[in-house]
Amino acid sequence: MSKGEEEVKLLGAWPSPFVLRARIALNMKSVRYEFLQETFGSKSQLLLQSNPVHKKIPVLIHGDKPVCESLIIVEYIDQVWSSPPSILPSHPYDRAVARFWAAYLDEKWFPAMKSVQGAKGEEERKALMQQLEEGLALMESAYHSVSKGKPFFGGDRVGYLDIAFGCYLGWLRVIESFSGLKLLDHAKTPGLAQWAQAFCAHDAVKPVMPETDKLIEFAKVLMAKAPPK
Amino acid sequence: MATNQQVKLLGFAGSPFVARAELALKLKGVQYEYIQESLTNKSDLLLKSNPVHKKVPVLLHNNQPICESLVIVEYVDETWTGHPILPSDPYHRALSRFWSRFIEDQVMPPVFKAAWNPNKQERVKGAEEAREALKILDKELKVNGKFFNGDSVGFLDIAALIIFYWVPIIQEASEFNVYSGDKYPKLGKWSQEVLNDPVVKGVLPPRDVLLSFFKARFQSIVNSK
């Protein structure tokens, strides 16, 4: 059996932005896969076996081989299912730029986003929101220089950085809803606002992007279960 | 075709992250100009090339900046032919990336905390966390040959060099102990192969210089109350 024909499973959960990255990449390549949803609050045997190091989703299981970490999964998908559309840019420099920004988002920007809900007091919350805003300003400028007038970071088509960044849009909207503040909109980040619309409407994204209302419901459940501070 | 014109590396002697970039360039036989940066007086070129993080290493290829050590290594691998750094097989490529992320995210941050956090309790906590992470690394990682993925120095060997060379020096300077080749024989054996490679040897800064530097750093942290 050729690499591309082996069975594909994805361990995940609908609210996770990281799982979303894998699903978008699989959709872009028209890969048929079985989506195995983890139950919130518990971890399946398969998950514990496939990702013993982190015990986290997403995990892509291709044949009998588990691939972990969302961005690594996206690169794996692009390499294995190598016919167009390409997910990574073709030029090494553009790839380096895309990987740079994806690393920035995961290592600097997302931790701030994750911490907002659990912030202790107004001061901390304000500082985190400011960090998010500054990050979005950076991404706005990156969008203009990387897209070069085209709709996506990947140019005419959705690419690696679109997926890496776009997966966070749902939760960003949740934060906006809870805080009453706009972070990504036509006034503050006009380029990104347009990009976000185009991204969410894309064929590979629309069927799997969680609705903001459902995420808000889910966030409320999470907060109710969170231990008191 | 990649050109060897105008390749510059902004670095700081002793940095394990800069060493990664140098190692990749040397393995590919790329001629480059090394520009030594000062940590306390960053050059305009550095600030312009890496405005987001203002850190070394930065690779400048035909005046285009590439930042983040592992991103640089991948860029070098994709731009210059000869001595492949990442495995060609997608699954092994994914494994190399997975473990390099584990080292960056799970091993090194607690090591740095154990070494340089101003609070002693935090340092002790850091050492505990580092030990946990190294235990997992030793248990789960499989070395497939002389190096991680065969007979030649590759991506994960380059990423792991910080553990093999820098961590023993840092822990000596900061008076804690989380890693040794004896404690982790599998990692120890792998580290010997990597450290004995002639190209790797060529990028390692002298041990005694590093030790003095890190000792001074530790002293200044412990002494400032």
What values do phi and psi take at B40, rounded to 5?
Answer: -95, -15
Residues of B in contact with A80 (CB under 8 A): 90
Counting one residue from chain A and one from chain B, the pairs whose CB atoms sit within 8 A come to: 55
Residue A2: pLDDT over 70? no
- DSSP assigned state of B56: S
Q: Which tokens go with A74?
A: 């996206």
Per domain, the residue ranges of chain A are 3-80, 92-224
pTM for the predicted model, two decimal places: 0.95
Residue listed under structure tokens 């080749």:
B181
**Nearest neighbour of A80 by CB, restricted to B68, B71, B90:** B90
> Does the bond joining A89 to the residue before it have cis omega, within 30 degrees of 0?
no
Q: Which residue of A has its CA nearest to B66?
A: A96
pLDDT of residue B35: 96
Residue A65 is inside which H or E element, if any?
strand A65-68
Half-sphere exposure of residue A224: CA atoms within 13 angstroms, side-chain side: 6
- Exposed, middle or buried: residue A101 (CB in 10 Å: 0-12, 13-18, 19+)? buried
**Nearest neighbour of B93 by CB, restricted to A69, A79, A95:** A79
Q: Do B71 and A100 touch (CB under 8 A)?
A: yes
Determine the average pLDDT of the residues in A171-177: 95
Residues of A in contact with B90 (CB under 8 A): 3, 76, 79-80
Mean pLDDT by 10 residues, chain B (225 residues): 75 96 98 94 95 97 97 98 96 98 98 97 98 96 94 97 98 97 95 98 97 96 82
User: A104 — contact with chain B (CB < 8 Å)?
Assistant: yes
pLDDT of residue B1: 47
Residues of B in contact with A53 (CB under 8 A): 102, 136, 140
pLDDT of residue A49: 96
- DSSP assigned state of A4: G
Q: Do A75 and B97 touch (CB under 8 A)?
A: yes
Residues of A in contact with B101 (CB under 8 A): 69, 72
B190 min Cα distance to partner chain A (Å): 20
**Nearest neighbour of B97 by CB, restricted to A72, A80, A96:** A72
Please write the tens of the pLDDT for every residue from A67-106.
Answer: 999 999 999 999 999 999 999 999 999 999 999 999 999 9
Determine the average pLDDT of the residues in A163-174: 97
pLDDT of residue B182: 93
pLDDT of residue B212: 97
Work out the number of other CB atoms within 10 angstroms of the CB of residue B118: 10
If one looks up domain A3-80 in CATH, what number appears?
Answer: 3.40.30.10
Q: Do A79 and B101 touch (CB under 8 A)?
A: no
Residue A4: pLDDT over 70? no
- Nearest by Cα to B1 from B84, B70, B78: B78
Q: Do B75 and A100 touch (CB under 8 A)?
A: no
B80 min Cα distance to partner chain A (Å): 10
Name which CATH class applies to A92-224: mainly alpha
Q: Do A99 and B71 touch (CB under 8 A)?
A: yes
- Cβ under 8 Å to B: A residues 49-78: 52-53, 62, 65, 67-69, 72-73, 75-76
Q: Which tokens go with B115?
A: 């070494």
User: A95 — contact with chain B (CB < 8 Å)?
Assistant: yes
**Mean pLDDT, chain A, whole residue set:** 94
Please write the tens of the pLDDT for every residue from A11-57.
Answer: 999 999 999 999 999 999 999 999 999 998 899 999 999 999 999 99
